[in-house]
Structure formats: structure tokens, C-alpha cells
Structure 1
């Protein structure tokens, strides 16, 4: 009778060989060494994404109705420069210069809430200066010797009816002389980075006071962050001593969200407006600061009417293009990888929708928020943020734990 043995399959043989090798390896480890390996902290998984450092809103940059002549510039706080036109040399800006006068005064003599500030007493020299300016048809408010104007009164006279004589009075009150105050104006401009700006008087009446739309937008952005300044330039009217009721020359207040800032017009400067507007998109309200300068006209009413037409068209067009856009879809955007080779896909919990316009490139900040080593399906492992909007990045599946063999044999 033939006796047949039971052969060991080749696969089983290889498995047994592996087990033997593993056992030998484990026996080669000291008990203390094995325990140390098994209790070592695991390295946290690493988050990587295909999202770049910046992402561009799809589409061509909008073509806005910029003025045919002169210069213009528009910035939106938190988003950046929307665009501009007329990159020529610095030009006279007229009474827009008074924005810097008010800015320097409020830096040196801050006001808050309903504070009126210290008083400025009108002198005989102030009255003589007022009378000397009448013949040149300047913007003025009447003054009377011995009358006291509070700092707020003076700023209202400066910014609403654009009183050149009060600009001089404020300058002397603050710095002792117009020339000393002008030095302070130019120092403030340099500090703000207004490289193409040169002030030669506190009112802007002199054509040698020059700037650009881009520089003045820089100043406007800084000025409207001063609450009292923003409150004053938004006034349609006010009442001050001697002059009584004064009105704001800015006819665009309340139009398209405009809440300031300052008009300016001279024969050399043409029509100018530095403006600030509130732009509501969805649940957010943004601040837009823009400038339209050097618009044509035979006199102040024509010049300011020309600049107002341009600003109205710009604001209407801007409201059509500045809206919500999807920057990132709720689709796989990266992965979470462990040192032991386990991975899981990472996806935004919802689309990242931002406010902007086509062609706008926005920086995107990716943050790894996962500190442990165990990851469950749907768990937040990071965030993606752009333009003040943040979405969670979640793991699509659980991250597999490391094997016993990997824990025992991992490198130091």
C-alpha cells in the first residue's frame, strides 16, 4: 500500500518563514526596548493640499467707466485695489488738501465721542486774513475777533464749506505758523508712503500743493479710520459761531453709500473728489475709498458736477461686479498622510465663497488644526481662509492606525 504524505503548500511555507523571522527579531529586542518602542509618541499626520498660496477669482478683470481725462483710483478695504486710470505726474488737488490738515490736527489733538476739544480764539490777524481772501473768491466762513471756535467747530468749518481761512487758523493754532504746519503735513505724507505728494499750504488753494489720486486714497483710508473725522465728513450741515448754519459741499453724500470725504476745485486743479462709500454684499459691509481728480469745467459748480458724474458711474458699475464668488469648491483638495503610510482625502466642508471681482487674486491661508494621531471620518483636520472667510477642511475617511510591526521597528 502506498502511503502519501501531506505536502505543505508553498504559500504557507513562506508565511511560516516570515513568522519565524518576526519572532526571531522580537526575541532579539530586549523587553525594555520593545516596551519603549510601543510607548513612543506617534508623529502627527501631515496635511498637504493642492490649494496654492493664492487663488484667482475666475474671469477677466472688469472694465470700469474710468474718466476720459484726469485721474482716478479705487480701493476696497480688505480686498485691495480695484483699479485706476491716469498715471500721470502729480497735479494740483485744491481743497482735498484739507483732508491732510484735518488728519494732522486729529493726530496731534485727538477727539472722541462728542468731545468738542479746546477752543481757538479768533484774533485780529484771523479777521484780516479772512477779509484778504474775499477778493480771490475763496471758500471761507466769516469770523469775528474774540469769538471762540472749538476744535470740532473748526474742523466742521474746514471740511464742510471748505473754509480756507479756518485751515490757516488751525495750522497756526497747532504749529505756530503755516510753514511749520506744512512741514508736519509733508512728514505725515511721507510716513503714509505718499511719495508723489507735496503740500505747500494747509488749504490747497495754492497750485503748488500737488498729489495723485492713488496717494490721496492712501490718506483717505487712514483718515476714515478716525471716528471723529468720519463723523464730521458725513455731516450734511452743522452750526458754528458767527457763520451759523454751514453746509457740506459734497453733493454725493448718501448716494451709493457715500459718507465722505472731501471736494476740491480750483482753476488749476479742476474738479476733485476723494470719497468713501459703504458697499454691502450679502451679510458684509465693505468700505470703498476712491478718488476722481482734475475733471474739466469753467467754474467750481461745473467742475464738481463733472466729477460727480464720473463717481456715480463708477459706483454703479462697481456694485455690479463686486459680489460673492466661489473661490474653492467642496471637492477633494488634499490629503492627510501619516508616517506609517496611511492616508485620507481632505475636502472643504463647504465651498469657500468670498467677496471680490473677476481677476482678483486672493491669498489663501491653510492651517493644520489636527494635533493628535487618530483621525475619524468627517473630522476637521484644518482650515482654509481667504478674504476674511474660513471653511473647515475635513477628512473623508478614518486614518488607519499603525501596525504593531511598524511600531516595533520604526526608526528613532
Structure 2
């Protein structure tokens, strides 16, 4: 009989279809898990040596953190140090330690005020010495020409030593020049003729010395095209200067409707004394016009007692009026004073107003005095480099204030408009000490008492902000 056939090898069992969903998920997860991260070196060493890793401890944790963070801290410190060393240094500042004001000893001076009308007295940059009478608007006559001259020189300045623009003489100026007769009784420049020219300088001189009405009107037409337009400019300028009780109706002051106060005229006078060209004219005792005719100055205060003129004004209705200025040399300062006297009706009115003004002028000059506020070499402040280093600064000369009894003046320290140096030798001028304001201002340079050194590395590294 034939041997039995060999049995076929059994086929591998198929996966049971009856596996649960949870089992299939478990198998899937085992196949997709990521490898574990490598063990720490100490654990790996323990595995290799069959020694168990040392148990966690605070010391081990601290050592591990130190090894991780120490390099980062060192790197951060290096970066911060480099930033501190290379970033720009702060700008040095000049700080004052001297007293910020000075008060003159004594009581306020009493001035000889006129018995009628009104008056006002001030010093440029220092303030008001006082006033008398009610400051109410009154006719000011030819004192009006002060505003006319101010506007012309402000809008058409004349360089020192020059004559300014050349102005054509029109028919009106020539005709009005003949009104200096007994009928019209106007003050005019009667030597001008149509077709000729007059320099701006001579026109201002004709305005302020012989008080020429026809030249005042000529200047108004030359500047603004018409007298009406110029009068508007006069009133606008008055508002700008704070002359709240002033109204101009003509450029010459012949109209009684042009009114002002002594206080308002002093406000204008304080601007006029800043015009060197004007004072060069008004301080003349007389003036020779282009034709060769000599004209005396109505203001007979000049050239005496350091008087600088400015402008008279007299009419029957206005009385005697005068806006005047003078100077007084105190130390290295040329102090300017300005006063106004209005409404003097005692005949002769021009003599009355000049006498009253002279008393005020001389008394004010006498009241002005100088006082040493800071002595040469005295420390008045320091240069602060912004990093905690301070270098003292000293006055390079005596500092003298100008004023009168009871007056307080300001003391200021500034760098003079330029930047302060980061380094400099002792004696280098780094600023200016200033006492007072305006024309009375006294300025003295200040210098380093010792070398101004650049900030050191330690200051740079430790600075904040």
C-alpha cells in the first residue's frame, strides 16, 4: 500500500478579528512612541558601573543650576558692560550755587515829582522808580513823533554810519513846510523842495529836533502810502507795546485827539533807547539840514548831565510835554533811564516841563548805585557731568549789580549758548554769570576752578539712566 502523503504546513494564524478596539489602540501606541531622552551623565555612569544614581539632593540641584546659569550670567554681564562703555555720555550741565538774587539796602528813593500833570520814571532793565498824577489819556502834542520815528527805524533800520534810504520830497511836503507862519503856527522844515531827496537819517533828525510836522506826514506817506494807513500802524504798534491808554490820530501830534499817558510813553521810550541811531540824533543840541540851515533842539536838557534827548511836545491845549532819556556810567555798565512829564501848563510851558524833567532826571541818576554781588574767584556753581562728578566754576572778575535802594535784581548762570565740554583744563571759561536785565545787565564769564576730567570706567559702568 502507498505511503500517506505528507501533510501541508500549517498556515500562520490570521489575526483574530475579535480583538477589541482598546487592544488595537494599545498596539498602535507602542509602535508610534518616541524614544526616551538620554539619561543624565551620572545616571548613564551608574548604569555602566551597575551603580545606582545618587539620590536627588538640594546641593546636587544647586550645582546643576550653577553649571547651567553661570555662563549665561557671565555673558550677560559682558554684554551690559560693553553697552555701558560705548553708549554716549550725558551732556554736562552748569548748575548755579550762588544766590539767585540781590537786594540793595535802604528804602526806596523819593523823587521830586511835578506839582501838576502826570509823570513816570523807569530804568531800562530794572523797572519803575515811581509815578505821579493820574495816568489818564491827555494830548501829548509832538511827543507823538516818537512813535513815528520808532516805526520808521524799526521797519527801515539804518546801519551805523550810514544815511539810510533816500526819500523823495513831494509837493505836499514843500507846501506844508510853509505853514510855520504866524497864521498856522506849525513847526516845519521849510527848506525842502519838491523833486529833491532827503535821507532817512536827516528826515528823522528833522522830525525829532525842529519837530517838523511836514516831515512826519512825509514819512507816513513814504512808509505806508497814506497817513491813514500809517496811523493804523501806530495804533497797532501801541497795542503790541502794551500802551493800553494811547490813541493816535495823526503822525505829528498836531491833533489834540492824539492822547496818551506818561506811563505809556515811557514804555515806548524804553524801546527807543535800544535804537542807537535815534539816540545819536536826539542827543544833538542842534542839527544842520541839507540846505545848511541850523536848527536848535527844542529839548534843552541836551547835551548836559548825560541827557540823551528824545522828544518835546507843546501846544496850548496839551501844555508842556517831554519824553526824555539819560544815562549814568556805573562800573562797566552804561545804565539808561527813561521818564515822561505831561500836562505842564505854567507859562512858559516849554521851560516848565524841561525844569520838571531835569529834576526827575538828576534825582534818578543820583539814586542809581552799584554793589558788588560776587567777587573774583568766588565759586558760583559747578559743572555736573551727569555721572556724579562735579567740577566747581568761579567768577573771573567782580560782579557788580546796578540798582537803587530796596531794589531786588536777579542773578543767573548760563553756559553762554554753547555746549559744555566733556574735558577741559582749569581756567577754561564755560559760562556767564548775569546780574539784572536789559540795558542794566552785567555779565561776567565763569571758569573751571580745576581740570574737568572725562568720566572713568567705573562711573560709566555704574551709571543708571
TM-score, with length taken from structure 1: 0.73
Residue aligning to 1:253: 302
From 200, 204, 226, give the equivalent of 1:155: 204
In structure 1, what is the Cα distance between the partners aligned to 2:228 and 2:131? Answer: 33
Shift, 1:408, TM fit: 8.4
Aligned with 1:33 (options 45, 59, 77): 77
Q: 2:220 aligns with which of 171, 174, 193?
A: 171
1:216 aligns with one of 245, 265, 272 = 265
Cα RMSD (Å): 4.3
Is 1:95–1:262's contact at 8 Å kept on the other side of the alignment? yes
Deviates more, 1:231-240 or 1:30-39: 30-39
Q: 1:187 aligns with which of 236, 248, 258?
A: 236
**In the TM superposition, what whole-angstrom CA distance separates every residue of 1:338-361 from its partner, at most 9, and x where no partner exists?**
999998988767653222222222
Of 183-192 and 46-55, the range deviating more from structure 2 = 46-55
Instruction: Report the CA distance between 1:411 and its aligned residue.
Output: 6.8
For the pair 1:314 / 2:334, whether they are aligned, the reply is no
1:58 aligns with 2:105: yes
Q: Determine helix, strand or coil for the equivalent of 2:169.
A: strand
Q: Kindly provide the CA deviation profile for residues 303-322 of structure 1, in whole angstroms up to 9, marking residues without a partner as x.
A: 22222222222232223222
Deviation at 1:292, TM superposition (A): 2.0
Q: CA deviation at 1:263?
A: 0.6
1:337 and 1:166 mapped to 2: Cα distance?
59
Point out which structure has higher relative CO (alpha carbons under 8 A, 6+ apart): 1
SS of 1:263's partner is strand
Distance 1:34 1:311, change over 3 A: same
Unpaired segments of 5 or more residues in structure 2?
Answer: 1-71, 436-440
Provide the residue aligned with 1:287 in structure 2. Answer: 336
CA distance in 1, matches of 2:80, 2:408: 50
What's the counterpart of residue 90 of structure 1? 137
Q: 2:326 aligns with which of 273, 277, 280?
A: 277
Deviation at 1:199, TM superposition (A): 0.7
Kindly indicate whether the alpha-carbon contact (under 8 Å) linking 1:38 and 1:407 is maintained by their aligned counterparts in 2. Answer: no
Residues 1:286 and 1:337: Cα distance change in structure 2 (over 3 Å):
closer
1:282-323 deviations in whole A, cap 9, x for unaligned? Answer: 22223322222222323xxx2222222222222322232222
2:278 corresponds to 1:262: no
Counterpart CA distance in 2 for 1:31 and 1:97 is 80
Larger Rg: 2
User: Using the alignment, how far apart are the partners of 2:197 and 2:426 within structure 1?
Assistant: 69
**In structure 1, which of residues 336, 352, 370 is the aligned counterpart of residue 399 of structure 2?**
352
- Per-residue deviation, 1:409: 7.9
- Counterpart of 1:167 in 2: which secondary structure? helix
CA distance in 2, matches of 1:277, 1:37: 64
Q: Distance in 2 between matches of 1:38 and 1:175?
A: 67
Residues 204 and 44 of structure 1: CA distance in aligned 2, closer, same or farther (over 3 Å): closer
Name the stretch that deviates more: 348-357 or 258-267: 348-357
Residue 52 of structure 2 corresponds to none
SS at match of 1:64: coil
Q: 1:233 to 1:334 in 2, by over 3 A?
A: closer
| Alignment CA distance shift 1:349-1:217 (3 Å) | same
Q: Distance in 1 between matches of 2:93 and 2:157?
A: 50
Q: Give the drift of 1:202.
A: 1.8
Q: Secondary structure at the match of 2:166?
A: coil
Equivalent of residue 350 in structure 2, options 301, 304, 307: 304
1:45-71 per-position Cα deviation (integer Å, ceiling 9, x unaligned)? 987666454433333222222323322
Aligned to 2:190: 142
Q: Does 1:361 align with 2:415?
A: no
In 2, the alpha carbon distance for the partners of 1:243 and 1:235 equals 16
Aligned with 1:392 (options 409, 434, 446): 446
TM-score scaled by length of structure 2: 0.65
Between the two proteins, the alignment pairs up a number of residues equal to 381
219-228 or 311-320, which moves further after superposition? Answer: 219-228
1:369-388 alignment runs, 5 A limit: 384-386=433-435, 387-388=441-442
**Which structure 1 residue ranges, 5 or more long, are not aligned?**
1-27
Segment of structure 1 superposing worse, 318-327 or 338-347? 338-347
Shift of 1:204: 1.1
Q: Output the CA distance in 1 between the equivalents of 2:83 and 2:406.
A: 52
Whether the aligned pair in 2 keeps the contact of 1:175 and 1:181 (CA below 8 Å) is: yes
